[in-house]
Amino acid sequence: MSQEGGVKKLISRKKICYPVGAGLRRYLKYYRRSVALSLDYQDLLRFEDGVPLCDKSGAQTSWISVSYQPTNRMELYSSLLEAYAYLKADGNVRLLEHLRVDRIDLCLFGNSMPFRIKILNRLNDNFDYFYVKKADASRIYGLELEHLLSPNRISFLLNQDTLIIEHIYGVPGDVFIEKYMKKDLNEVRLAKEFVKFNERCFLRLLGDMHASNFVVDITLDIEDSNYRIRAIDFDQQCYEGRKKVYLPQYYRENNPIINLGIKTLTDRSVKQYQQEERHLINTRMLTARYRLKNLFRVMIPEDLSPAEHVENVREELAHHYKNDNFGRCNTMGELVHTSLQTVAQH
């Protein structure tokens, strides 16, 4: 494991939003990721007012809580509950009659301006969240690759040009670093998980995985705690033109965890954990081989990044792997496919 600053400077300030092509729409419909709903992202933009949202300590967050005119609110809330029903219960709205929309938040930070919907259970005051975003082909490919190749399953739906995504539970990485790393933790297990997370991101070219874009899921084990790091933002799936962008080990924000790995892990241990993750990814690829084949059939021809980005990453990956196959890739989809083939060949 190594560290280096300044990687965020390599990331484009404004990422291009790529439309969802016909091939990807057919793929999503076949695998029941595409539904016909009345909810549209643009409807959520018609809010009347917004107030800053603070956390439990009273500190202001990057979210605002928005409100709507009464004439629009009932129809919008009904559409949101319908979307939640499809996300969680295959569209069975009757199972969710006791739920209501409690709050709608808008994030003003970043490219996508997502809405976060808080759903409240009126029977027991339990709550859940989901997100509504503008559809972007890069993000959809990122979500699907996460579902197929990571240890995690993730639910999302596409309706026309609106993307609906379930909430991913865990402690936000920046909060975990600030508060939880000061408490008792199993340093070796956390460092090991970061090595595996780093490997997963690099192999599938998922970028921008600094501490604000992943969560840490903490599980109590027999004698200690276990950790799993989960990506929560897939905006930078195979888009940027530098290899380092796809390696979480190069982000300054992640340094406390990286330094923990430097302190607790040997080079031999790091190589072992990298190989373990490659083996697991290969197993997942075999299990989902037909679905992956269908995914890459539509992903490889897609335009998902500027040509100069593809050229730069192609050269860097060819040098990194000492593999000429990367030099023959013309799209980001081909580069991801070729990267994953390096796992299958070992």
Q: Alpha-carbon dihedral of residues 119, 124, 125, 129, nearest 10 degrees?
A: -30
Let me know: does 271 contact 292? Beta carbons within 8 Å.
no
* Predicted local distance difference test score (pLDDT) of residue 9: 61
* Predicted local distance difference test score (pLDDT) of residue 10: 60
Confidence of residue 8 (pLDDT cuts 50, 70, 90): low
Non-local CB neighbours of 45 within 8 Å, separated by 6+ positions: none
Q: In whole angstroms, how far apart are CA 163 and each of 113, 138, 245, 302?
A: 12, 12, 25, 19
Confidence of residue 12 (pLDDT cuts 50, 70, 90): low
**Structural domains of the chain, with CATH:** 7-14+170-344 (1.10.1070), 33-166 (no CATH)
- The DSSP element (H or E) to which 300 belongs, if any, is none
The pTM for the full model equals 0.93
Let me know: does 34 contact 28? Beta carbons within 8 Å.
yes
Q: How far is residue 236's CA from residue 249's CA, in Å, rounded to a whole number?
A: 16
Q: What is the DSSP letter of 200?
A: H
Whether the per-residue pLDDT at 2 is higher than 50: the answer is: no
Mean pLDDT of 78-86: 94
Number of residues that this document lists for the chain = 346
> Can you read off the two tokens belonging to residue 158?
């596409």
| Residue of 88, 170, 81, 70 whose CA lies nearest to 117 | 81
Burial class (CB in 10 A: 0-12, 13-18, 19+), 312: middle
> Can you read off the two tokens belonging to residue 171?
């402690």
Q: How far is residue 313's CA from residue 276's CA, in Å, rounded to a whole number?
A: 25
Mean pLDDT of 159-186: 92
Let me know: does 249 contact 2? Beta carbons within 8 Å.
yes
In the chain, pLDDT over 90 holds for what percent of residues? 80
pLDDT, tens digit, for every residue of 221-274? Answer: 887 889 999 999 999 999 999 999 999 999 999 999 999 999 999 999 999 999
Q: How far is residue 43's CA from residue 235's CA, in Å, rounded to a whole number?
A: 22
pLDDT, tens digit, for every residue of 17-48? Answer: 899 999 999 999 999 999 999 999 999 999 99
pLDDT, tens digit, for every residue of 209-225? Answer: 999 999 999 998 887 88
* Predicted local distance difference test score (pLDDT) of residue 6: 61
Q: How far is residue 83's CA from residue 37's CA, in Å, rounded to a whole number?
A: 7
Q: How far is residue 165's CA from residue 168's CA, in Å, rounded to a whole number?
A: 9
Mean pLDDT of 193-205: 97
Name which residue leads in pLDDT, 24 or 110.
24
- The DSSP element (H or E) to which 313 belongs, if any, is helix 307-321
Please state the φ and ψ torsions of residue 273, each to the nearest 5 degrees. Answer: -70, -35
Query: How far is C-alpha 244 from the geometric centre of its chain's CA atoms?
Result: 18
Q: List the alpha helices (DSSP H) in 59-153.
A: 70-89, 137-149
- How many C-beta atoms lie closer than 10 Å to residue 4's C-beta? 13
